[in-house]
Structure 1
Amino acid sequence: MQGGSFFDIFWMLIIIFSLWPLFQQKNIEWARLRLIRKIEEKRKSRVITMIHRQERLAFMGFPIMRYITIEDSERILRAIRMTPDDMPIDLILHTPGGLALAATQIAAALIKHKSPVRVIVPHYAMSGGTLIALAADEVIMDPNAVLGPLDPQLGQFPAPSVIKAYQIKKAGLKDETLILADVAEKALNQMKNTIKKILMAKGKDEKQAEEVADLLTCGYWTHDYPLTVDVLKEIGINVRTDVPDEVYDLMELYYQPTATSSVQYIPVPYGEPKKENVPIKKPH
């Protein structure tokens, strides 16, 4: 009996430790939903999040990287359909980018929504995330947050660079290179036209939209170049920097890498030091 009891306890501990990450994940998800609801009540809007951080699988704890997928666009389109025409949308974005198809679908759906659409970027929204941000009536960014260029990527090569290489050296190229250059030209034109349509739908005239679309796609910057708030304002994007505090709180509820972080600090805000009235001792 004693042996049986010991093994019962042993297996019970194994089950608890195996399921603990799942319980922890569910607890985090409930906390996120409560905070999202709080933001909705405060801002009188539908809050949608697309936050791609490195997360842990619920069972084994292995980290996985995420990006914009067709599944993301499907869920966001469903959330938009469930939102009344007279209710604003706040889309919180934190993403390295992803599939152009998915990002284009999301942007098109946001444009069609009849009430104001605000995209909130607490840290970064690169590539496809930037395309989605362009479809908003307002982009609300942290003063240090960034967006990114929209030059199409063909595997490991940016489309503008492929076209430039083809123009410099046309003779003696392999068929594969010629095909790649043709696809790159098509991808570049498609992205330019998509950006132009989005910007014109948001009130830009055709010339302004053409200039911004060309700047974002032509390879003037590398694909990972950070477009800061100042740069975005210079090119005519409607940007504000008053990110709600609750959005920062929400970001804290997303898993971080499982390894020990290389960044550490005391997680409390510091204010101005209080001046204490220290009595001055008179010399004897």
Structure 2
Amino acid sequence: MDLFQLFWLLIFALSLWPILRQQRTERLRLKVMGQIQRARNSRIITLIHRQESWGLLGLLGRRFISIEDSEKVLRAIRTTPPDLPIDLILHTPGGLVLAAEQIAQALRRHPARVSVFVPHYAMSGGTLIALAADEIWMDDNAVLGPVDPQLGQWPAASIVRAVEQKDRNRVDDETLIMADMARKALAQVRDLVTDILGDHLPPERAAQVADYLTQGHWTHDYPLDCRRLQEWGLPVRCGLPAAIYALMDLYPQAPERRPSVQYVPLPQPAPAGWLRRQRDGEG
């Protein structure tokens, strides 16, 4: 083999390496998911959005809740036996309201118990999905967020307030149309969230919490931790099983040339301990 052939062989190997690494990671993910699934006697579904490298060139992709996501999640829910609980592991910045609503309503219709696990954050549409579960498990530092609708880059509530504060004759037609759409969006999302919260809260309290979440009382990225949600009366548990963190370790962010965060790992209890206790019925 001459130097030229060796050079092209090296290029081929370097191109193939990201694909092989990704396939190995996928196998490990399925293995851990299978362990959790057997331990909890449930159907494990993941909706995890991370910036990961993919393809021959290691290109980066950043994802949000999409129609494609809702199609896959709905298919997973539809093929789950009605008496089998569903555990959804959720890590997302949000996405399309339509897709999030489809997933939330499908989870509500599942006859068996539905649990959502939030290891880091589930904002916007992710929060809408979490609210549809029978119980929400959150890391002590994990957060949900408001679900107030956004029109383009602007919050719907802010568009309405801006128009209300100006002389109507000095507002252009396009802005008036946006304000009309914003009012409709606010009403639609408030009604949806009120309906979902009605599964957990009395009607008056459900309407009050829905107003907090949908009507622009905070910025769209305002963090709501597990204790705040518990105070509202939602079925939230602070703390996650170790196996959930083990699974999240298999969804790494794309590597950087210089890591922004580094630390020396300390010994941690193996997830198998929690899995064994689950099998023995100890919690």
Asked if these proteins are the same fold (TM beyond 0.5), I'd say yes
1:196 alignment partner in structure 2? 194
Paired with 1:20 and 1:71, the residues of 2 have a C-alpha distance of 27
Aligned: 1:31 with 2:48: no
Aligned: 1:137 with 2:134: yes
Could you tell me whether the CA contact under 8 Å between 1:63 and 1:258 is conserved in 2? no
1:55 alignment partner in structure 2? 52
Q: CA deviation at 1:270?
A: 7.4
Aligned: 1:186 with 2:181: no
Paired with 1:73 and 1:27, the residues of 2 have a C-alpha distance of 26
Percent identity among equivalent residues? Answer: 55
Paired with 1:79 and 1:171, the residues of 2 have a C-alpha distance of 52
Could you tell me whether the CA contact under 8 Å between 1:77 and 1:109 is conserved in 2? yes
Moved more, 203-212 or 73-82: 203-212
Paired with 2:239 and 2:14, the residues of 1 have a C-alpha distance of 42
SS of the aligned residue for 1:171 comes to helix
Following superposition, which runs of at least 4 residues in structure 1 exceed 6 angstroms of deviation?
A: none
Aligned: 1:265 with 2:277: no
Paired with 1:56 and 1:266, the residues of 2 have a C-alpha distance of 24
Q: How does 1:184-263 map to 2 (within 5 A)?
A: 184-200=182-198, 202-259=199-256, 260-263=258-261
Moved more, 99-108 or 163-172: 163-172
Larger Rg computed on CA atoms: 1
Aligned: 1:93 with 2:61: no
SS of the aligned residue for 2:2 comes to helix
Paired with 1:162 and 1:175, the residues of 2 have a C-alpha distance of 13
Q: Which runs of 5+ in 2 are unaligned?
A: 270-283
Could you tell me whether the CA contact under 8 Å between 2:200 and 2:234 is conserved in 1? no
Q: Which runs of 5+ in 1 are unaligned?
A: 272-284
Q: CA deviation at 1:207?
A: 1.3
Q: CA deviation at 1:229?
A: 1.1
Paired with 2:11 and 2:254, the residues of 1 have a C-alpha distance of 24
Give TM-score, length-normalised by structure 2.
Answer: 0.91
RMSD of aligned Cα (Å): 1.4
Paired with 1:111 and 1:215, the residues of 2 have a C-alpha distance of 22
Q: Which of these residues, 2, 5, 19, is aligned with residue 5 of structure 1? A: 2
Could you tell me whether the CA contact under 8 Å between 1:56 and 1:255 is conserved in 2? no
Q: Which of these residues, 152, 170, 173, is aligned with residue 171 of structure 2? A: 173
SS of the aligned residue for 2:250 comes to coil
Q: How does 1:151-166 map to 2 (within 5 A)?
A: 151-166=148-163
Paired with 2:259 and 2:187, the residues of 1 have a C-alpha distance of 42
Task: Map Cα deviations across residues 212-254 of structure 1 (whole Å, 9 max, x no partner).
Answer: 1111011111100000112111222110023111110111111
Moved more, 142-151 or 234-243: 234-243
2:277 alignment partner in structure 1? none
Give TM-score, length-normalised by structure 1.
Answer: 0.91
Paired with 1:25 and 1:270, the residues of 2 have a C-alpha distance of 25
2:117 alignment partner in structure 1? 120
Paired with 1:34 and 1:150, the residues of 2 have a C-alpha distance of 34
Moved more, 257-266 or 119-128: 257-266
Paired with 1:27 and 1:57, the residues of 2 have a C-alpha distance of 13
Amino acid at match of 1:225: Y
Corresponding residue pairs, total = 267
